[in-house]
Structure 1
Amino acid sequence: MSNNSKFWRLAALVPQVQCPDQPIPFRQKVVYTTSVLAIFLVASQLPLYGINHRPRTIEPDPLHWMYLIVAANRNTLLTHGILAILAPEVLMNFVVVTKTIILDTSTPETRILMSRAQKLLGILITILGAVSFYVQSYHFTVNTVLVMLQILCSGIIVIYLDDVLKKGYGLLSGTSLFTATSSCGNILWKALSPMSIIYPGKGAEFEGAVVAWVHLLITRTDKLSAMSKAFYRQNLPNITSFLATCGFVPLAILFQGFYITLPVRTGSIFQAECRIKLSNFLYGPIVLHHFFVPLPYFISKVLYMKYNGNILVNLLGPWNRSNHFGQSIPTGGIAYYLTTPPTFVDLHRDPLHAFIYVSFVLISCVILSEWVILCAPVKGIYNGFVVLKEERRLRVAQPDSIHVNEILSYVRKAACVGGFLAGALIIFADLIGVLGTGTGVMLAVTALYPYFDGRASEVGSFGY
């Protein structure tokens, strides 16, 4: 594609946030980040004006997987979540790596043009999302126009909130902040939700695992039965999943400190150790895993709801209502073999399912790690992936004792190891039944860890 094409000429007209003229103080960054996060949280709860809102239920939602992918909340201003910033970034990185578009990403002008192009793609995706609402409504009314305008404006606001954070005004990129917030919010809701569900003949139960535990202990005379119900109920989040999440988070944090040591010489005399931290390779693969892996579930479920008699649709996977937190699960086909086995016992019961699932997660994480490295600029590899043991000023030193290709070789090996271990942690988290998903918990930990590691400002949307 030529840089003089209509698309690039149109992208050059897209406004963007100006970079700060001087370094932003830490406190001011905290204010910017907190303000952006507050706007995101409020927008994720504000209902769209002009549509009929139904009370929250535990009925299965055919778009459940899609909302998890893009940190969306149905029938709110963030109906499409971060799709407008995540999809363009993935697409632009893909076309550059595959050389579909020949661009010299080392020049500042090209990077600015790519940033504008991502915003243009995000705006186009937002417009398509607004039009899709009109297509689903089957009629054109004033309310339809109002809803479309709300979706369009909120999508554009999300794009520029992300741009504010990326330009150095915040502590982390918008993709990192929003996905981590969505994952943490999902976990906290499942643990502490005060919403009560009324079951015919059984009475009311609270959705939150901890709240339900306290309620059952207070209201039931048989405390043993109450404890058993709170720990092992299948229709809603339970205490076992809550404790599994509390135990898994420290394990995921511990993994952030793993590194591979590479001796280098920073001068003619001075010798230093170069640490290639595995945690630097985690966020990109986990984001992409979070984005791509649920897509087969979403496609299979939507097709099955409309064409459940079709042979090809059944090959993708039939779906049945499950007691697992009110959501449907695949019972066969391709989607079934890509779904986490419910318990450790199922690993022995259906070893083929376990083998295919484990292989799929591990291989996909390794491939995505390799892809992230291919997308990373060389500067990002030196300044982000390679960390010297000594003073921080030595991070920018060029290791003259080892050729750059050898450094890149070590980085790729570290990326593969990091992706493999991240996949193993995701599998373990899913098998022990953490609240939400294993990918979601890993996503939150890996996105928030740079805040405490002192390198939050150095981490981009995909970890570099």
Structure 2
Amino acid sequence: MAGRFLKAFEPISRFIPEVKPPERRVRFTEKLLWTALALIIYLVMSEVPLYGIGLGGPQDSLLYYRVIFASSRGSLMELGIGPIVTAGLILQLLAGSGFIECDFSNPEDRALFTGASKVLSLVMTGAQASAYLISGLLGNLNPSQSVVVFMELMMAGLIVMLLDEMIQKGWGIGSGISLFIVAGVAQRIMLDCFSTFPAPGSDPMRYQGVIVALVYALANGRPLDNII
């Protein structure tokens, strides 16, 4: 039986939307469709800027962090999957070390654990969003902008959590977390190779994409040691 810790989250988890597992056998093509839909939603959210905040920028202190946690600067995916992963790791460590009681062979305990994980994910989303806003990482925002951005990040975190739950419960293929990480890495590779946007710096003819910069340098006789 689950301990008091997991049961304490039960009243709150009832108000959080959930994805029900399929009551029939889902065909492989249908799983591909739902997986592609989740991926498209993630990519669209990665390109939708937060209110009052532009996408990208000259410097990003969290660049390598974003690759790991499928985050996109200045967009709805600013936090990425970080809060979900953090919440899951905390509960897994507590359960594995015996600090909380949970019998994963018991369906009721598994349901309580899942509910607690969802509640803690939203708590971590709110905490991380607040830290970003208070620290000024998202820029100097006025109070009204901060409230709007906070709500946007909370809604985005909830959507990502539901997408991951949809895939894990049998509607999709694999894990939503892994899917978003792979999508973020693939997107970064494509941009770094084929982006036609100018690279930051004084030279307007330098391109962010390595392949584009290489082709331009070869075609115009420019030195190859400064293509990016």
TM-score, structure 2 normalization: 0.87
State the alpha-carbon separation in 2 of the partners of residues 23 and 37 from structure 1.
22
Task: Output the amino acid matched with 1:127.
Answer: G
- In structure 2, the CA distance between the partners of 1:16 and 1:140, relative to structure 1 (3 Å rule), is same
Q: Which has the higher contact order (CA 8 A, sep 6+)?
A: 2
1:363 corresponds to which residue?
none
User: Is structure 2 residue 214 aligned with structure 1 residue 207?
Assistant: no
State the alpha-carbon separation in 2 of the partners of residues 187 and 24 from structure 1.
33
State the alpha-carbon separation in 2 of the partners of residues 4 and 96 from structure 1.
10
Counting only pairs closer than 5 Å after superposition, residues 180-195 of structure 1 correspond to structure 2 as 180-195=182-197
Higher-Rg member (1/2)? 1
Identity within the alignment, % = 27
Q: Is the 8 A contact 1:50 1:144 kept in 2?
A: no
1:55 to partner: Cα distance = 6.4
1:126 corresponds to which residue?
125
1:35 to partner: Cα distance = 0.7
Structure ranking higher in strand proportion: 1
State the alpha-carbon separation in 2 of the partners of residues 193 and 117 from structure 1.
42
Aligned pair count?
Answer: 223
**Runs of 4+ with deviation above 6 angstroms:** none
What is the CA deviation profile of residues 33-68 of structure 1, one whole-angstrom value per residue up to 9, with x for unaligned ones?
A: 1111000001011111223x27643x4x22223222
State the alpha-carbon separation in 2 of the partners of residues 3 and 12 from structure 1.
16
State the alpha-carbon separation in 1 of the partners of residues 187 and 174 from structure 2.
18
State the alpha-carbon separation in 2 of the partners of residues 203 and 14 from structure 1.
49
What is the CA deviation profile of residues 334-389 of structure 1, one whole-angstrom value per residue up to 9, with x for unaligned ones?
A: xxxxxxxxxxxxxxxxxxxxxxxxxxxxxxxxxxxxxxxxxxxxxxxxxxxxxxxx
Counting only pairs closer than 5 Å after superposition, residues 110-125 of structure 1 correspond to structure 2 as 110-125=109-124
**What 5-or-longer segments of structure 2 have no aligned partner?**
none
Greater mean alpha carbon deviation, residues 33-42 or residues 98-107: 98-107
Tell me the secondary structure at the aligned position of residue 205 of structure 1: coil
1:174 corresponds to which residue?
176
**What 5-or-longer segments of structure 1 have no aligned partner?**
237-464
2:35 corresponds to which residue?
33
1:3 to partner: Cα distance = 5.0
Q: Is the 8 A contact 1:20 1:169 kept in 2?
A: yes
Task: Output the amino acid matched with 1:216.
Answer: A
Task: Output the amino acid matched with 2:155.
Answer: C
1:77 corresponds to which residue?
76
CA RMSD of superposed structures (Å): 2.3
Counting only pairs closer than 5 Å after superposition, residues 35-74 of structure 1 correspond to structure 2 as 35-51=37-53, 53=54, 56-57=57-58, 59=59, 61-74=60-73
1:85 to partner: Cα distance = 2.1
Q: Is the 8 A contact 2:167 2:173 kept in 1?
A: yes
State the alpha-carbon separation in 2 of the partners of residues 175 and 55 from structure 1.
23
1:155 corresponds to which residue?
157
